[in-house]
Amino acid sequence: DAGITQSPRHKVTETGTPVTLRCHQTENHRYMYWYRQDPGHGLRLIHYSYGVKDTDKGEVSDGYSVSRSKTEDFLLTLESATSSQTSVYFCAISSDRAPNYGYTFGSGTRLTVV
Amino acid sequence: ILNVEQSPQSLHVQEGDSTNFTCSFPSSNFYALHWYRWETAKSPEALFVMTLNGDEKKKGRISATLNTKEGYSYLYIKGSQPEDSATYLCACRSSGNTPLVFGKGTRLSVIA
């Protein structure tokens, strides 16, 4: 999607290893979000950021950490990957929390933990 | 955590049929509602943002209404086409300081 990219697009990793997913935006948006998508659960919020070095936990934050040292990058780290973290991860950005501002989503990262 | 529910979970219609589906949310805890269209292997794309009771939005053959007093929104598709096949996501936020909470989506399949 224009203005927001996720890397890698696909990754296979072993249980117990750390993994970092990257979300990069060129829109200079203040807000960035990490969601995971699993069958039967829809999109669930992991962590979000409301500015550089300002982050907060979402609904399913256990086992994940995030960092935002620059406006354009929001990193999601799985500290010690488990099979339950096999999922598709979506990053989203938003310019403001005013009600008429929606999210723009990245293309997703498919992570498989074996 | 805000509870956003969508029904039905999936829907199969014939080309040319009109259809609608529902998003329910707590009426006592409402700030804004968003509808997204999500095609397989792509990213969700924004359709509508609605904030006021009685809001109606339209985009081509797709329209949506909002009832904040009773806590629901309807999405309508008139004259469904195969290209309308997608998952339609509803998301709500309870204040300006909270992220969107998504429902599980309604998967629409339009059969030619």
3-class SS shares of chain A: helix, strand, coil, % to 5: 5, 55, 40
**Nearest alpha-carbon partner for B89 in A49, A92, A11:** A92
Distance CA B38, CA A37 (A): 12
Q: How confident is the model at residue A99 (pLDDT cuts 50, 70, 90)?
A: low
Please tell me which residue of chain B has the smallest CA distance to A101.
Answer: B49
Please tell me which residue of chain B has the smallest CA distance to A99.
Answer: B32
Question: Taking 50 as the threshold, does the pLDDT of residue B76 lie above it?
Answer: yes
Answer whether A104 sits within 8 Å of B1, measured CB to CB.
no
Q: How confident is the model at residue B98 (pLDDT cuts 50, 70, 90)?
A: confident
Residues of B in contact with A40 (CB under 8 A): 104
How many degrees, rounded to 5, is the angle at CA A63 between CA B87 and CA A52?
80
Answer whether B44 sits within 8 Å of A100, measured CB to CB.
no
Length of chain B: 112
Alpha helix locations (H) across chain B?
none
pLDDT, tens only, A16-32: 999 999 999 999 999 99
pLDDT, tens only, B9-19: 999 999 999 99
Average pLDDT, chain B: 94
- pLDDT at position B52: 93
Distance CA A62, CA A47 (A): 10
Q: How confident is the model at residue A1 (pLDDT cuts 50, 70, 90)?
A: very low
- pLDDT at position B41: 87
Answer whether B43 sits within 8 Å of A106, measured CB to CB.
yes
Distance CA B99, CA A35 (A): 11
Residues of A in contact with B89 (CB under 8 A): 42-43
Residues of A in contact with B105 (CB under 8 A): 42
pLDDT, tens only, A34-85: 999 998 888 999 999 999 999 999 999 999 999 999 999 999 999 999 999 9
Largest CA distance in chain B: 43
Answer whether B99 sits within 8 Å of A48, measured CB to CB.
yes
- pLDDT at position A40: 85
By Cβ distance, the residue of B42, B46, B105 closest to A102 is B46
